[in-house]
């Protein structure tokens, strides 16, 4: 041994996660999403909205792990495609709520079964208990990294600041038009 640091990539968890993720993205992107002119980021937004209903844009950013300014551009594209709507919140004029449209739901009805089929191909031959451990472990890895990077606190602090600002600001006199 020559004293230089060594790393066995075949056992290095970040490499393994990236390698699997890359193959999933390439397969799903080329074989499913491209037919609908969707990106992975668009898919994540649509899937979150289908699962959780209309949400504040900042909450969609947190759920999808998409940076807020990037998400704004993604949502703008989805609005132009007629897949989501974006409106001011009835509760807080500073907040934007994103909702799935019937057209978006119809596309998801085609895409979700393909996503599930891809996942089934990826996990073929892995015992159910092992899958539970992998899912639990990956959630914990995410929590560890988010915590050490201060990501959870940043998202929470951003939401608290937004709520505090909107509570302190007087309501606007003129009506806001719908985004899009």
Q: Which domains does the chain have, with CATH numbers?
A: 9-124 (1.10.10.10), 126-168 (no CATH)
pLDDT of residue 162: 41
* Alpha-carbon distances, residue 7 vs 10, 15, 20 (angstroms): 9, 11, 19
Residue 166's pLDDT band, with cuts at 50, 70 and 90, is very low
pLDDT at position 148: 86
More confidently predicted of 171 and 129: 129
Per-residue pLDDT tens for 34-66?
A: 999 999 999 999 999 999 889 999 999 999 999
Collapsing DSSP states into helix, strand and coil, what is residue 170?
A: coil
pTM, full prediction? 0.76
Higher pLDDT, 3 or 99: 99
Q: Do the beta carbons of residue 44 and residue 64 sit within 8 Å?
A: yes
């Amino acid at each position: 041994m020559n004293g230089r640091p060594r790393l066995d990539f075949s056992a290095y968890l970040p490499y393994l996660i990236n390698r699997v993720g890359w193959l999933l993205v390439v397969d799903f992107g080329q074989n499913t999403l491209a037919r609908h002119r969707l990106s992975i980021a668009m898919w994540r937004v649509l899937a979150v909205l289908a699962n959780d209903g209309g949400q504040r844009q900042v909450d969609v950013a947190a759920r999808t792990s998409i940076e807020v300014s990037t998400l704004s551009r993604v949502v703008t594209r989805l609005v132009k495609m007629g897949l989501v709507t974006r409106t001011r919140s009835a509760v807080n004029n500073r907040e934007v709520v994103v909702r799935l449209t019937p057209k978006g739901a119809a596309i998801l009805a085609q895409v979700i079964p393909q996503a599930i089929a891809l996942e089934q191909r990826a996990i073929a031959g892995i015992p159910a208990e092992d899958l539970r451990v992998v899912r639990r472990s990956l959630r914990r890895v995410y929590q560890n990294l988010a915590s050490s990077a201060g990501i959870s606190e940043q998202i929470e602090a951003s939401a608290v600041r937004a709520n505090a600002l909107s509570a302190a600001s007087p309501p606007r006199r003129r009506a806001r038009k719908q985004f899009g």
